[in-house]
Amino acid sequence: MTESFTVQTEWVHLQYDEHAAFTETYGFSGNQGAVNLEAIRFRPEGQASDTLMVFMHPASTLQLLPVPRAMAATGAHVLCAGSRYQRNDTALIMEKVFLDLSAYIRHAKQVWGYRHVVLVGWSGGGALAVSYQAEAEDPRITHTPAGDAVDLKGKGLIPADAVIYQAAHLSRAHLLAEVIDPSVKDELNPDDRDVELDIYDPRNPNQPPYSPAFIQRYRVAQLDRMRRITAWAKAKLAELKARNTGEMERPFLVHRTLADPRFLDPTLDPNDRRPRWCYMGNPETVNSGPVGLARFTTLRSWLSQWSLDDSCGNGLEGARRMRVPLLVIENSADDAVPTTHPKMLFEAAASPDKLFRVVKGATHYYAGQPELLQEATALIRGWLQERDLLER
């Protein structure tokens, strides 16, 4: 039985300089030219450590999730790091999120004095973790997909010592490509839809269990819609640049973005998930609601985080480039991450030291599953101890 520690909580603020052509995040008077980051550090009372586990998501805060605090209660030092875009991904630029993560790792090693940093990528943080690690080990990025300079190659990103990929999808773009509603015919009129592609319309002759032919048609239509939006975004961005005025960016709305047939048909990529449900509730409601993926975005942000053909936050490509130890954890009842994604990433990973494990019955958030949370925590702890990355 692992000892349970009292967890101390510390608010963390980092600031570093940035000189951008325009701002895409809310700030406050006097902070122009600077990036401000906030995080929460969990430390077990009376327990020193040479290792810091860093949990980070591009747009969410993770300190209220069960795993970080549970890890700290076992004796680990944990940082729940927020990007500059925490709780608002409308204008998120993935390349800048890499810079934010780099600032935390640099602070952890140079100011706090940790010898080792382990990136724990949960959900959308999985692709971030492996993509950052790939760029830290093998720097290549000098510009965003929109052509804006962002010299990650010259920033000296510090690699982590290991990566844990937990209940995570391949990328925000991969996830959107599999859940976006292909029935939308007119981006400005979400009521103009193809009934035969609208899985929530009872008039649709295609009903679960879906035929392979329908699923093939559906997936092609999803990619077609994604690429139509990408082509429009690139054309509009080029138009704004050609005008050479003060208008440099354009926000826009993406309707109906949560319509994965897997939500309605449990025979598709089967796992232990609840049918006709998803991690945000009723998928039909979320499909048109305000919190859908990519609902509010900008031209640059679409290309950087949502375009399947342009985003650098591609976990599949990142896994092929990184070499540090990698632990991939699939939750078998995950109602957010497709069961295919963790397996695909593990198979693509080039790390000589890699391990794949399944937590049977675990949902995306381990909600009401304390015994499965404990199983996942023990798995992570044991894996790190075997590699001398956590005190025994």
Is residue 121 within 8 A of residue 129, CB to CB? The reply is: yes
Q: Which residues pair with 120 in a beta bridge?
A: 55, 164
Which of the following CATH numbers is that of domain 7-171+312-386: 2.10.70.10, 3.40.50.1820, 1.10.10.10, 3.40.50.10860? 3.40.50.1820
Please give the Cα distance from 332 to 244 (Å, whole number): 51
Q: Which residues are CB-neighbours of 29 under 8 A, at least 6 positions away?
A: none
Output the pLDDT for position 9: 97
Q: Are residues 324 and 133 in contact, defined by beta-carbon separation less than 8 angstroms?
A: yes
Contact 143, 188 (CB under 8 A): no
> Using one digit for the tens of pLDDT, what is the confidence trace for 74-112?
999 999 999 999 999 999 999 999 999 999 999 999 999
Q: How confident is the model at residue 20 (pLDDT cuts 50, 70, 90)?
A: confident
- pLDDT tens column, 28-85: 655 678 899 999 999 999 999 999 999 999 999 999 999 999 999 999 999 999 999 9
For residues 85 and 36, the answer to whether their CB atoms sit within 8 Å is no
What residues does each domain of the chain span? Answer: 7-171+312-386, 174-306
Nearest-angstrom CA–CA distance, 252 and 298: 6
Region 206-229: mean pLDDT is 98
Torsion of CA 339, 345, 348, 353, to 10 degrees: -120
Q: What is the pLDDT of residue 31?
A: 65
Confidence (pLDDT) at 22? 79
Give dist(CA 205, CA 28) in Å, integer.
54
- pLDDT higher than 70, residue 15: yes
Which pLDDT value is given to residue 28? 64
Instruction: Report, as an integer, the average pLDDT of 342-369.
Output: 96
- Length of the chain, in residues: 392
Sign, CA torsion 274/278/280/283? negative
In whole angstroms, what is the distance from residue 165 CA to residue 315 CA?
10
- pLDDT at residue 353 is higher than 80: yes
Longest dimension (CA), the chain: 66
pLDDT of residue 25: 83
DSSP per-residue letters across 340-382: HHHHHHHHH---SSEEEEEETT--SS-TT-HHHHHHHHHHHHH
pLDDT in tens, 277-317: 888 889 999 999 998 899 999 999 999 999 999 999 999 99
Mean pLDDT of the chain, nearest integer: 95
Q: What is the structure's pLDDT at 186?
A: 97
Amino acid of residue 260: D
Extract the runs of DSSP E, i.e. beta strands, from the chain: 7-17, 34-44, 51-57, 77-82, 116-122, 162-166, 184-186, 189-193, 251-253, 296-298, 326-331, 354-359
What integer pLDDT is reported at residue 1 of this predicted model?
45
Burial class (CB in 10 A: 0-12, 13-18, 19+), 21: exposed
**Residue 18 clears pLDDT 90, i.e. is over it:** no
Q: Which pair of tokens denotes residue 52? A: 């810091």
Give the mean model confidence (pLDDT) for residues 263-279: 91
Percentage of the chain modeled with pLDDT above 70: 98
pLDDT at 357 over 60: yes
Q: pLDDT digits over 321-348, tens only?
A: 999 999 999 999 998 899 999 999 999 9
Q: Give the pLDDT confidence of 154-167 residue by residue, as tens digits.
A: 899 999 999 999 99
Distance of alpha carbon 42 from alpha carbon 255, whole angstroms: 38
Q: Check residue 196 and report its DSSP letter.
A: G
CA–CA distance, 20 with 105 (Å, rounded to integer) = 22
Give pLDDT tens digits for 145-156. 999 999 899 899
pLDDT at res. 97: 97
Tell me the residue type at 321.
Answer: R
